[in-house]
A = this chain, B = another copy of it.
Amino acid sequence: MPAFADKLAAAAERNRSLLCVGLDPDPARMPVAGVAEFNRAIIDATSDLVCAYKPNLAFYEALGPAGLDALRATLDAIPDWVPVIADAKRGDLDNSSAGYARALFDVWDFDAATFHPYMGRDSLAPFLARPERGILVLCRTSNPSAREFQDLRVTPMAGGDTLPMYEYVAMTAVKWNDNGNVGLVVGATYPDELERVRDLCPDMPILIPGVGTQEGALERSVAVGVDERGRNAIVNASRGVIYAGDDPTTYPDAARNAAQRLRDTINRVLEDRGLGWNA
């Protein structure tokens, strides 16, 4: 199979899109009852507008065995050429880490997954050893409490000036990238931090969640989050797309319209910088 980065680039190019849609089914908000049905309709309405899909496993695990059946049906509904990122936020050690690698990459066959850095390099070894899969390391997350640890000033192990924890995580992720399969997660809600991380990691894919209804934050995030070719940013919107409509008949159209608006906004930013898609 192709490396995650290549599959991502091909899907982005084909759909002229850096938009990722988060498939986070919440029974309290879905306009129809079935998770698989809901996701399939969203996918059918948006698969020509995205560079990736990102199911967050929490939403499926919360529904018990039926939720995992729905996740399987969801993955089956995604076209083969669209990469799928497991927003799993795992992080364990030794045999347990190997178990999660098997679960995410072999049982579920995700193209990439998100991970906690706190336990260090050996905790990700079974993932890093899979050059065809993407390893997206949580760096600066989009929630308000992110600052509690991620903004702490730390002294590098090798000595030198202090720097924020999230920058040290980004610099460490570069060292983990022997197989070229490492990327980062930086929330759209913190564009200054995103800009700094892009400077530190010029070539890595960056997953940028937290894009809501504020297009200002979106535009700034895209401008500073892409690489120098205007690529390698995975701009994720979840609720703003999948719950754009609440009518059980027209919600797929509403999702499509929301996804199209976001993709177009992103593409205008790229074009303004002379980094649009090739004809």
Chain A residues with a Cβ under 8 A of chain B: 24, 26, 56, 58-59, 61-65, 68-69, 87, 89-100, 102-103, 107, 116-123, 138, 141-157, 162, 165, 168-169, 172
Q: Is the CB of A118 within 8 A of B120?
A: no
- Cα A122 to Cα B144 in complex, Å, equals 7
A-B contact pairs, 30 of them (CB 8 A): A56-B92, A58-B90, A58-B95, A58-B98, A58-B100, A59-B99, A62-B100, A68-B68, A89-B96, A91-B116, A94-B143, A117-B118, A118-B118, A118-B150, A119-B141, A119-B149, A119-B150, A120-B147, A120-B148, A122-B144, A123-B145, A148-B157, A148-B172, A149-B169, A152-B156, A152-B157, A154-B154, A154-B155, A154-B165, A155-B162
Q: Is the CB of B24 within 8 A of A96?
A: yes
Q: Among the listed B62, B97, B155, which residue makes an inter-chain contact with A152, where contact means beta carbons less than 8 Å apart?
A: B155
Q: Is the CB of A56 within 8 A of B153?
A: no
* Cβ-closest chain B residue relative to A58: B99
- Cα A56 to Cα B103 in complex, Å, equals 13
Q: Is the CB of B118 within 8 A of A138?
A: yes
Q: Is the CB of B152 within 8 A of A100?
A: no
